[in-house]
Amino acid sequence: MLDTYDFDGDVWMCHSFGGQCHDITAFGPAIDYLKEIETFLSANLREIVTLILEDYVGPNGLTKVFTDAGLMKYWFPVSKMPQNGGDWPLVSDMVANNQRLLVFTSVKSKEASEGIAYQWNYMVENQYGDGGMEAGNCPNRGESSSLNDKTKSLVLVNYFPSESNKGEACEDNSGDLINMLHTCYAAAGNRWANFVAVDYYKRSEGGGSFQAVDTLNGKLLCGCDDIHACVPGSTSGACTP
């Protein structure tokens, strides 16, 4: 989940306000970060990367920087993305076709003009910040349709405070995170999240954010509480202790 802006004559990673990047809110040119992703994808041939962009870049700016970073050869095309909540291709198919980079933008027009998927056509998301950390409650983010809108096939759960605090990340990522995933499962019409977003990843009580991902993968793949409990080849809830 990255914020991209026009800044200093180029596309930059920035976490800012009012749609403008400033010296004090700028991190660095986007090309540097995107080249790191290209290096990762070229070295890890079975891995898939998803980028969700809060996008303040003018027309064709993202297309140019992704091209310059050498990432277009991994691009998963909009034409293959499911409409109206349909199934996505298998991971094995995406790997076989080398279409291992999914990119979503917050700008609706870019889906038609540049072939960059508009996030809210495919995804629902809960409220970020403090509003997404209230026990037993999983409201949708303002830009998102309701979490139980099954015409959107992907579910993203945010779980991090409004004011980033590294010192509290261990506690935030403990059992409360797992509990929130269950709460959002119900709010999303009995659908487990495909993505979980945290500020910092630390092992903590109950395994932290790592265990959260293992739980989600287990639930999605075979119905078990942990991916490691899935019986190889089973998709029917056959779980080992």
Parse the chain into domains and list their residue ranges.
2-121, 123-229
For the stretch 58-89, pLDDT in tens is 999 999 999 999 999 999 999 999 999 999 99
**Predicted confidence band of residue 234 (pLDDT cuts 50, 70, 90):** confident
- Specify the pLDDT at position 232: 85
Average pLDDT over residues 123-150: 97
- Specify the pLDDT at position 200: 87
The average confidence (pLDDT) of the chain is: 94
Average pLDDT over residues 126-152: 97
The dihedral region occupied by 91, where left means phi > 0, alpha psi between -120 and 50, and beta the remainder, is alpha
For the stretch 35-48, pLDDT in tens is 999 999 999 999 99
For the stretch 184-203, pLDDT in tens is 999 999 999 999 999 988 66
